[in-house]
A and B are shown apart, each in its own frame.
Chain A
Amino acid sequence: MSVEIAEDRMAELTGDPDSGQLLEISMGPHHPSTHGVFRMNVTLEGERVVRLKPVFGYLHRNHEKIAENASYLAAIPYTDRLDYLCSMTNNWGYALAVEKLVGIAVPERAEYIRVIVAELTRLQNHASLIGFLLQDMGASGTPLMYAFREREKILDLFESLTGSRMMCNYMRFGGVRVDTTPEWLEEVQALVSRFPQFLDEFEKLLTENEILMSRTQGVGILPRELAINAGVTGPMLRASGVNYDIRKVDGYGIYDRFTFRVPLGEHGDVYDRYMMRALEMHESLKILEQALREITAGPVIDPKTRLRGLRPKAGEAYGRIESPKGELGFYLISNGTTEPYRYRVRPPSLINLTVLEDMCLGRSVADIVVILGSIDIVLGEVDR
């Protein structure tokens, strides 16, 4: 939108036609912080944001309708592509919904493997998020490279288990696709014992950094009430001080067997959101250690489970999990055929993104980038 039009609307926006000149700019989709698929219409008064409208849909791939025209099995590889950093947790959310719909039990060993891969996913997601956040802040390269170095090790583990680094397509309703080898579990154990060293290093590099602190503390504050009312979930909600973690609330899978803390923030600013991720990685390591210690032998999927041509009875089910980004839910309605009648994804990224304007109002343009980075969105999931 041109400057003149914005000037015409100055009165409407500020209530005072003489307050100064307004400038409407379009940030993205080709802005480095928006990764080419997200746009914000920002109205500025000087450097101050007076209005911000997110525009999305650039990466829309019709995920829900495709899944409504595919068999229950064929939807699993598509869920990999929702939040393409965390395919394992996406698989799990969907598998959980189908399991609820049909009433399939999951063997114990499969539950343990699911927890292990989900927590590994959380580790790599949080590590890369911190890397990206710092990248958006101008720390070009270094933190992101360190994070990716660790992430790569986890992706290597995924590749040797499932055949693919990111598009794992690993979980099935009723269990997981292939069993882990003892060597694989040993490698996970080795990674888990080395990871704290990386976390310490990462935290020494960042946590006390004065530039990071001045760029993030008190920036993009999300008040507790607003976070709850807007349906924000995940580390973002917990950074605002709300104790809500679906792993604790629902205890889905076998999460009720593990002891771990849910870190909580106080201020709800970008720095708290950064700290939430750093602390959650420590908790994930705790869960991983317990899971690796307690994992039982047995089958990973009931061989009689019907994967192909599954026809659930008419009904509906909602499966939700705590994905690294928040509450990831899959809502399925079956009408008794091989394809779901309705398939709906509740993407945490999209819903967390809705409070972007509230966090940015009154801040400067440079802060928008940092605040957006702290939400942890993946556009594959926002647009679906």
Chain B
Amino acid sequence: MLGKGILKGLVETARNFFGSYAEKERLTTVQFPEERLVQPEAARVFPFLLYDTDDAEKGLRCVACKICEVECPPKCITIEKSTEKKPDYAGNYAGKPQFYPAKFSIDVSVCMSCQICVEVCPFDAIKMDTAFELSTDDRFGGLLWEKDRLTKSNEYYHLIHPTEAAEVDAQLAGKKAKAEAKPAAAAATTGAAAAR
């Protein structure tokens, strides 16, 4: 019969329409911005620079090695290395003073949220943020984020990526323990030699 297929289809649309009142499965829209979906933990939007302790300047992990600047596919990171070293405030570098970025900027409008900078950074100094409402009416300065806007604390990192942050912390603690064990072991052997 002509029209049977159409009627069959209409039954489906009716099922979906009335079903959307009963089944959560069929009602998938949310009223943004009042309602928001929870972002998954892995979500990535824009990078930020991590610092330990509560001082964004002194505790900054980045050592200005410029690896991320070179590897960033659209080349939106600009780093200026400092001329003098700063002391290892948070104790991530076995007490050795390190260089730091005098200037570190990322262009929001160019960044393609690819996470390559995070992958290549050997010091776990740069991570991905999940905040996505980054639009601004200032298309010059407002889109070029400098160090002051890029730095976020380790607590914040724990807040947005709890599992990943815990792993990174464990890794860093392991490295620290190793670094501390070395001089201690050296001291122990010299101590033993002196006792003998």
The residues of A with any CB-CB pair to B shorter than 8 Å are 70-71, 73-78, 80-81, 142, 146, 149, 152, 156, 159-164, 167, 169, 177-178, 201, 204-213, 307-308
* Complex Cα spacing A78 to B119, Å: 16
For the complex, give the distance between the alpha carbons of A161 and B3 in Å: 44
Q: Which residues of A contact B6 (CB under 8 A)?
A: 209-211
Say whether, besides A149-B28, A201-B12, A307-B119, A210 and B5 are in contact (CB < 8 Å). yes
Q: Which of B55-63, B93-101, B108-116, B174-182 contacts A (4 or more CB under 8 A)?
A: B108-116
Answer whether residue B41 sits at the interface, using C-beta atoms and an 8 A cutoff. Answer: yes
| Complex A-B, nearest 5 residue pairs according to Cβ-Cβ distance, in ascending order | A208-B5, A77-B114, A160-B40, A163-B44, A74-B73
Which residues of chain B are within 8 angstroms of A142 by Cβ–Cβ distance? 13
Which residues of B come within 8 Å of A, CB atoms? Answer: 2-6, 8-9, 11-13, 15-16, 26, 28, 40-44, 67, 71-73, 112-116, 119-120, 128
B116 lies within 8 A of A163 (CB): no
Of all chain B residues, the one with the shortest Cβ separation from A208 is: B5
Tally of A-B residue pairs with Cβ under 8 A?
83
Nearest-Cβ distance from residue B88 to partner chain A, whole angstroms: 25
Inter-chain contact A160/B41, CB cutoff 8 Å: yes
Interface centre among B8, B71, B73 (most CB of A within 10 A): B73
Which residues of chain A come closer than 8 Å to B112, judged between CB atoms?
77, 81, 167
C-alpha spacing A142/B16, complex, angstroms: 10
CB atoms of B113 and A167 under 8 A apart = yes
Nearest CB to that of A172 among chain B residues?
Answer: B119
* Contact (Cβ within 8 A) A73 B116: yes
Pair A308/B9 contact, Cβ less than 8 Å:
no
How far does the alpha carbon of A162 sit from the alpha carbon of B120 in the complex, in Å?
16
**Closest residue on chain B to residue A159 by CB atoms:** B40
Of A152, A159, A204, A212, the residue contacting B43 (CB under 8 A) is A159
* Cα(A76)–Cα(B67), bound, Å: 17
Taking CB as reference atom, which chain A residue is nearest B16?
A146
Q: How far is the CB of B67 from chain A (nearest CB, A)?
A: 8
A208 vs B4: C-alpha distance in the bound complex, in angstroms? 8
* Chain B residues whose C-beta falls within 8 Å of the C-beta of A70 in the assembled complex: 73
12 CB contacts below 8 A, A to B, read A71-B71, A73-B116, A77-B73, A149-B28, A163-B40, A163-B128, A177-B119, A204-B9, A205-B8, A209-B8, A209-B9, A308-B120
